[in-house]
Amino acid sequence: MSTSAEEMTDHLADEAEGMLSRKASQLQKFFDDVEELLRRVSNVGDKEISRLRYRVESSIDHARAATREGARIAIDNTRKAAKATDDYVHENPWKAIGVAAVGALLVGALLRRK
CA–CA separation, 112 vs 19, rounded Å?
Answer: 33
Q: What is the pTM of this model?
A: 0.53
Domain containing residue 51: 2-113
CA–CA separation, 78 vs 70, rounded Å?
Answer: 12
CA–CA separation, 12 vs 68, rounded Å?
Answer: 20
31 in Cβ contact with 111 (< 8 Å):
no
Residues 24-82: pLDDT tens digits? 778 888 888 888 887 777 777 778 877 887 888 888 888 888 888 887 888 888 888 88
Number of domains in the chain: 1
